[in-house]
Structure 1
């Protein structure tokens, strides 16, 4: 993929984030309903690069995500139709995922059209040295960005994390740490998957530590939790 095309796709994902930040009419952020139980994810969308990664290990390790169906995203019309069908069933369901920029922009746009609510939207970039996270969250995701940062710090991973909550009263969050453990490059993906599966739980348990992979998940990704 050339630089011009990659910049275009990144701009699409950033546009979705900006729309949420500015309170645009197209995308609703889910507010937390007092006393409501957390909804377990019914569907996990992953980019081809994420298949078999630590992200799915984190999803599977969570009791909330153990029975979720995994669907690999692609640019086909069949994928779009299947996602539209699921969004328009009228049944309460939660969809989480980790996709490339263009696919995530498409999913968010389809969710917007179906009237679904976004609880969490994050941009992630990672390499063998550290990971960077830019998160926009609703009240339903309160505490999960902090949990992500604390767990990454506890395992010695290098990271930089920033969170905004446009519809809540919480102050922006910023956390970061230098790398202290060479084997922690992919822990961000495990902790992210585990946390997205458990989103809405009051006191989620810590994510499991992941064994180092020969080729840790690296690149630029967008994560989300959508309540349909």
Structure 2
């Protein structure tokens, strides 16, 4: 793919993500509500990660979960080949669940392909991480019940500095608001490991404990989007 086409796709993707975030995370949630489902999630069959995330603790968390077995890891990008491959997988008729943590532009393409393919978006999260704090804005369906709370409780127990808000779809629940000041500098990337672990067993009433990770010299920082998609 040439540079001009890649830049065009990236611009379209970022604009699409802004629209999804505005309608879903900041407003009525109608953009994803019709794609949500209330039944329990299946085991993940594909984990999509951006280049930065592939080197982070996110995959460590996914791998540590007993619910994550025989899944494939794939790098996300903005190429037409990636989009067509994902579309083919979602329209194959085979039951499957795709989870991931990627950059904003890749997330917009992935969510658009999922919705156009008739897949169900069970979880969508916007994450911003610095060296001593992480912020999480989450939108979840009934299938993700308890995942946001588990994420917040584990981050607090580990001493991570964080703020978390969750909006639930199709229900009377009030938005969840959690937060804590950092008590340990060693927990700067714990959010990625805990997120990966929890997404792998989304909807499980007893998901177990996410792994504690060692401090890294270059923890994952920046803006990312997480998701769980079921087809």
TM-score by length of 1: 0.91
Alignment root-mean-square deviation, CA: 2.0
User: What's the offset of the Cα at 1:67?
Assistant: 2.0
User: What's the offset of the Cα at 1:83?
Assistant: 0.5
Alpha-carbon distance between aligned partners in 1 of 2:164 and 2:79, rounded to the nearest angstrom: 33
Alpha-carbon spacing, 1:109–1:172, altered in 2? closer, same or farther (3 Å): same
Q: What residue in structure 2 maps to residue 162 of structure 1?
A: 165
Equivalent in 40, 44, 48 of residue 41 of structure 1: 44
Q: Is 2:63 the partner of 1:60?
A: yes
Alpha-carbon distance between aligned partners in 2 of 1:225 and 1:151, rounded to the nearest angstrom: 20
My pick for the range that moved more, 41-50 or 16-25, is 16-25
Q: 2:165 is paired with a residue of what secondary structure?
A: strand
1:162-188 CA-partner distances (Å, limit 9, x unpaired): 000131221100000000011000000
User: What's the offset of the Cα at 1:24?
Assistant: 3.5
Which has the larger helix fraction? Answer: 2
Q: 2:191 is paired with a residue of what secondary structure?
A: helix
Alpha-carbon spacing, 1:9–1:128, altered in 2? closer, same or farther (3 Å): farther
My pick for the range that moved more, 16-25 or 115-124, is 16-25
Q: What residue in structure 1 maps to residue 36 of structure 2?
A: 30
Q: 1:32 is paired with a residue of what secondary structure?
A: coil
How do 1:1-228 and structure 2 match up within 5 A?
11-20=15-24, 21-24=27-30, 28-33=34-39, 38-228=41-231
Contact in 1 for aligned 2:33/2:169 (Cα 8 Å): no
Contact in 1 for aligned 2:50/2:76 (Cα 8 Å): yes
Alpha-carbon distance between aligned partners in 2 of 1:199 and 1:7, rounded to the nearest angstrom: 31
TM-score by length of 2: 0.90
Q: 2:139 is paired with a residue of what secondary structure?
A: strand
Q: 1:97 is paired with a residue of what secondary structure?
A: strand
User: What's the offset of the Cα at 1:13?
Assistant: 2.0
Alpha-carbon spacing, 1:13–1:194, altered in 2? closer, same or farther (3 Å): same
Runs of 5+ in structure 2 lacking a partner?
A: 1-7
Runs of 5+ in structure 1 lacking a partner?
A: none
For these two proteins, the number of residue pairs brought into alignment is: 221
Contact in 2 for aligned 1:184/1:212 (Cα 8 Å): yes
